[in-house]
């Protein structure tokens, strides 16, 4: 683990170029071809980018993987039965080791700013040409997505730490997000570019989304790897959900008209989540789709609003792929070794009438219980995987390999990865509503669960409605890179040190609120190259809490 982290840090010595790199000669020689190339790169870079070249670094999907581990939701289920937890290649954030300015934060920072650069390149190429209105809308939506993620990762929110100097250092950067780089940026400006205040960043994001909304209002997006009007609404719902956690009226709405907080933000989140549902025309996955052993969660379908579409040409290698790490059926690689799984406490709390439980291996691992939801034969059920030990208790079979393939990586690695599903919008609508209308939010989650997941669903008397909605959301969106932001904004804690936990040694964390590791640092290289960052980084959270 230490070696992997050191390697990741040593590979980054220079800042990522944040200004355009398209030469004027290429533009003049074939402008249409160059615009098409740059336009395509906005979605292909998400799955083709690699900062360090390591097998845990393959663009946006690898960031999803690491942060669901940092909140303690994705656990190496093989470790529960004596296997080797280090097949899980996303150790650094899971164990909270080596994640300071000189560590693994380089993966977050450099990936997102390279994503941002591709959108800036497109925007600079097309300018104000009305012929490219739809393309401008897509570029603005992509850029808003990237900044929204990055801002929330680095937003310095209060967190308890065992280090006495952590909180004072954190308070120094309270309310700061990340530097804003646009298509007009120059090399000189990026070398003196301070972290944007939260209100400045979110108004910038909303400005991009407002323009995207206008540009895409009459557009028909041909492929779901491109943002649509519904996706724009979904991004607004995510942004307002984040802002709902701050005290009302903290920002000047005459200067930042879209940046409302508290109840006003929650009302906006609910409004835009509903708009996203209605505009998308998407419908939640059925039981047969959810539990499909061949096509489950590996192919864009009626429930996905937005996703990354893989082909054999976009898979970097047999080890640089989502399925390789996240699918228990990836017999050629780490997935079958680590077998990503759920918390025992989550499994125990789920209702037996909830069909989502069917694709999680329970304490009774008998093949007869799972033969309808797996491509494994009865013999393979007890012998499959890197360790030849078969399927482990609490392993989650959610993410299937391409075409259900178990051995051939060139087929099994070709999977689509979700970026936004319509189910998320139902949960945002329910939670946001519950913040200002508890009964309304309660009814929304009951309606969703009974109609789409569990016909016998009920909320126990006296239950905390927000907590219940988030629990169902963490079951639904396990492993999809969404839950991190919920944990951080709601000041939730890691709860993996309870009696009977299936968390391996070193991952038995128990925090009363958000974890310091969730305030992601800015890389040392950026501090060195951007003078406005020096002295305004998030404090190093590495090993600032102790496993029980």
509: nearest Cα among 496, 498, 518? 496
Which residue is associated with the tokens 């909830």?
Answer: 354
Is the pLDDT at 48 greater than 60? The verdict is yes
pLDDT single digits (tens) 123-152 = 999 999 999 999 999 999 999 999 999 999
- Identify the residue with better confidence: 302 or 33: 302
16 pLDDT more than 50: no
From CA 356, how far away is CA 353, in angstroms rounded?
A: 9
CA distances from 104 to 54, 324, 447, 488 (A): 12, 20, 41, 19
Q: What is the mean pLDDT of the chain?
A: 93
* 472-511 confidence digits (pLDDT tens): 999 999 999 999 999 999 999 999 999 999 999 999 999 9
Cα 395 from Cα 383, distance rounded (Å): 15
Structure tokens at 409: 């990586």
CATH class of the domain defined by 2-13+24-288+420-529: mainly alpha
Residue 30: how many CB atoms within 10 A of its CB?
Answer: 11
The pTM assigned to this predicted structure is: 0.94
Listed by start position, the domains of the chain span 2-13+24-288+420-529, 289-419
- Does residue 405 register a pLDDT over 70? yes
Which pLDDT belongs to residue 30?
Answer: 62
pLDDT value at residue 20: 43
Is residue 429 a contact partner of residue 270, using CB atoms and an 8 Å limit?
Answer: yes
pLDDT single digits (tens) 249-260: 999 999 999 999
Of 151, 84, 114, 108, residue with least CA distance to 8 = 108
The 10s digit of each residue's pLDDT in 260-302 is: 999 999 999 999 999 999 999 999 999 999 999 999 999 999 9
The pLDDT score that the predictor gives to residue 203 is 98
């Amino acid at each position: 683990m230490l070696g992997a982290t050191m390697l990741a840090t040593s590979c980054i010595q220079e800042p990522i170029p944040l200004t355009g790199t398209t030469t004027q000669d290429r533009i003049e020689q074939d402008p249409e071809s160059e615009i098409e190339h740059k336009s395509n790169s906005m979605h292909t870079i998400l799955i083709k980018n690699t900062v360090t070249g390591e097998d845990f670094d393959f663009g946006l999907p690898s960031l999803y993987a690491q942060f669901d581990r940092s909140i303690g939701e994705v656990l190496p289920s093989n470790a529960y039965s004596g296997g080797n937890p280090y097949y899980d290649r996303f150790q650094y954030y899971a164990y909270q080791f080596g994640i300071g300015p000189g560590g693994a934060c380089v993966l977050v920072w450099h990936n997102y700013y390279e994503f941002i650069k591709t959108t800036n390149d497109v925007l600079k190429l097309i300018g104000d040409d009305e012929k490219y209105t739809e393309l401008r809308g897509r570029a603005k939506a992509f850029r808003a997505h990237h900044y929204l993620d990055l801002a929330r990762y680095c937003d310095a929110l209060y967190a308890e730490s065992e280090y006495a100097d952590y909180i004072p250092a954190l308070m120094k950067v309270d309310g700061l997000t990340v530097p804003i780089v646009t298509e007009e940026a120059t090399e000189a400006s990026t070398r003196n570019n301070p972290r944007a205040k939260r209100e400045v960043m979110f108004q910038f994001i909303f400005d991009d989304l407002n323009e995207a909304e206008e540009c895409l209002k009459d557009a028909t997006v041909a492929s779901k790897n491109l943002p649509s009007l519904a996706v724009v609404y979904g991004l607004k719902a995510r942004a307002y959900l984040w802002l709902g956690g701050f005290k009302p009226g903290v920002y000047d709405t005459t200067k930042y008209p879209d940046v409302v907080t508290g109840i006003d933000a929650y009302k906006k989140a609910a409004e835009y989540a509903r708009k996203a549902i209605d505009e998308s025309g998407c419908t939640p996955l059925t039981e047969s789709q959810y539990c499909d052993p061949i096509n489950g969660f590996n192919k864009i379908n009626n429930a996905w609003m937005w996703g990354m579409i893989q082909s054999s040409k976009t898979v970097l290698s047999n080890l640089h792929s989502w399925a390789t790490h996240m699918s228990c059926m990836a017999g050629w690689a780490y997935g079958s070794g680590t077998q990503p799984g759920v918390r025992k406490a989550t499994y125990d709390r789920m209702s037996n009438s909830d069909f989502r439980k069917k694709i999680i291996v329970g304490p009774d691992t008998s093949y007869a219980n799972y033969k309808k939801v797996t491509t494994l034969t009865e013999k393979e059920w007890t012998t499959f995987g890197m360790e030849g030990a078969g399927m482990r208790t609490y392993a989650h079979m959610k993410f299937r390999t391409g075409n259900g393939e178990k051995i051939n990586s060139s087929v099994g690695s070709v999977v689509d990865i979700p970026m936004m599903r319509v189910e998320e919008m139902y949960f945002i609508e329910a939670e946001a509503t519950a913040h200002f209308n508890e009964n309304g939010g309660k009814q929304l989650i009951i309606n969703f669960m009974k109609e789409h997941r569990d016909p016998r669903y009920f909320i126990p008397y006296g239950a905390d409605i927000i907590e219940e909605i988030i629990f169902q959301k963490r079951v639904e969106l396990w492993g999809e890179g969404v839950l991190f932001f919920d944990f951080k904004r709601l000041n939730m804690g890691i709860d993996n040190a309870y009696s009977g936990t299936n968390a391996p040694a070193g991952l038995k964390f128990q925090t009363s609120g958000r974890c310091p590791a969730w305030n992601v640092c800015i890389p040392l290289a950026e501090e060195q190259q951007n003078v406005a960052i020096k002295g305004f980084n998030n404090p190093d959270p590495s090993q600032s809490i102790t496993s029980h």
